[in-house]
Chain A
Amino acid sequence: MGTITWAKVEAGTALLLGTIEGADVSTAETNYTGALSTSTVRSPDFPPTAIYDACVNAAMEIAKAICESDNHPETVSFVASSSAVSSGATAPAASSGSVPRIGPIRRVKDGSNSRTLDRETISAVRDYNAASATIFNGYNAYYYAINGDIIEHTRTTVICDMCCFNRATFTGQSTIPLNDEHERLIIMGAVTFLGMKEGMYADLANRAAREFDTGLQIIRGVAQNVDMDVRAMKPGGSL
């Protein structure tokens, strides 16, 4: 995770919105580098808590994009395991630590030996389970299927690995739950959310929204491009 603090992205957001208090550059610099407060923010349109909330919301959007992408390098940071799930149970909506799931189930593994299960058709899973003591007695199938919000599988229990994320709790000097590269994107997101409040910020909000949306699209798509590049490099590989 990153080294950038929440205080830094909040200050960056406040700066773009022109709400850092300071009659001279020295005071503005002090207020910019310090924690925002009602005495260091100028405009009643953007109270410090609202800026905090906007930054957290932007971070949530970025985290969601990462968790919904295919094999983004940062997804591993969000992966958590569910509790043991029996066949026919509801697909887990939270990790074993009760952190909400974001995005798809990425891996289903055996509850005892952690071997990865293959995704199969529901009929294959049900056929195996129906005849596991007869035709398939002694054969160890590692299959699962998702049927609506129900997961069916051929093991005693399975554990699902998936991206999980809680809404970040703002604490000024703590670090953001994302890599440092997302500092600007968080600011762009926060400016997008806050800039809509006042018509005079329309241009700023539009430009920030464009950069924010583009950034999210890149996050969602970058892994697929990397995967294609890697496959193209393999001898005999094809796109």
Chain B
Amino acid sequence: MTFDDFVISATRRLNAGAPQNGWEDSALDIATCVQAAIHALSKDVMMDNEKRGLLQQTYSVTISGSTGDLLSPTGSVTATAAEILPDGIYYGVLTDADGDILQPLKTLNAFYRPQSLVYSYYHVGPNMTLYTRSKQAQVTVPADVVGVNGPVSVIASYAPQDPADIPHSLEDDLIEYICRIAMTKSNEKYAVKG
């Protein structure tokens, strides 16, 4: 479904059975809810063990030194950059060019601390910078870090920029999310007090 299709579907669903509600005049307002709805849906899908795979794709991240940019590469499904969800990386997997699986370290402090050399590690730092650390060298100070061999293959959850990239099985969910956000807005504005 296209952006237009989602707006029309949400508009008609909101208006169903009660044309006096006037939602048909609110298409532009409903359209502004679409991106918010996509992000809300994507986050919920990411948390859902059964649906997560519907919004996961692979990114190939170039490693320069020991770091890479997670916002630059395009996704294998949507071919669009910067859709990756920060939390979604932890629900996926990172593999370096040597085939080693990188383990997450969620704080930079832990990243620069001595760790078991059984694994290579990664950390998602400021502005979605991917910090990598090879299992070949122990680290006690930042200068000790040796990056992994790139590129790093990142399978991660994402929020599509284009509504047309929403899988068919999630289309009805997205319409529901759009309606919910639109109604929340109107309820707050027009709520009957007392």
Residues on A facing B (Cβ under 8 Å):
120, 124, 127-128, 135-141, 143
Contact = CB atoms under 8 A, between A and B. Distances in A.
Interface of B: 2-4, 7, 27-28, 31-32, 34-35, 161-164
A135 to B, nearest CB: 6
Nearest to B35: A135
Given A135-B35, A138-B163, A128 B28 contact: yes
Contacts of A135: 31-32, 35
A140 B4 contact: yes
Nearest to B2: A138
B162 A141 contact: no
Residues of A contacting B: mostly: loop
Contacts, number: 30
A143 B28 contact: yes
Residues of B contacting A: mostly: helix
Contacts of B34: 139
A23 to B, nearest CB: 72
Nearest to A128: B28
B2 A141 contact: no
B79 to A, nearest CB: 14
24 contacts: A120-B28, A124-B28, A127-B28, A128-B28, A135-B32, A136-B3, A136-B28, A136-B31, A136-B32, A137-B3, A137-B162, A138-B2, A138-B3, A138-B162, A138-B163, A139-B3, A139-B4, A139-B7, A139-B31, A140-B4, A141-B27, A141-B28, A141-B31, A143-B28
A135 B2 CA distance: 14
Contacts of B7: 139
A143 B35 CA distance: 21
Contact of A138 (B27, B28, B164): B164
A45 B23 CA distance: 65
Nearest to A125: B28
Nearest to B6: A139
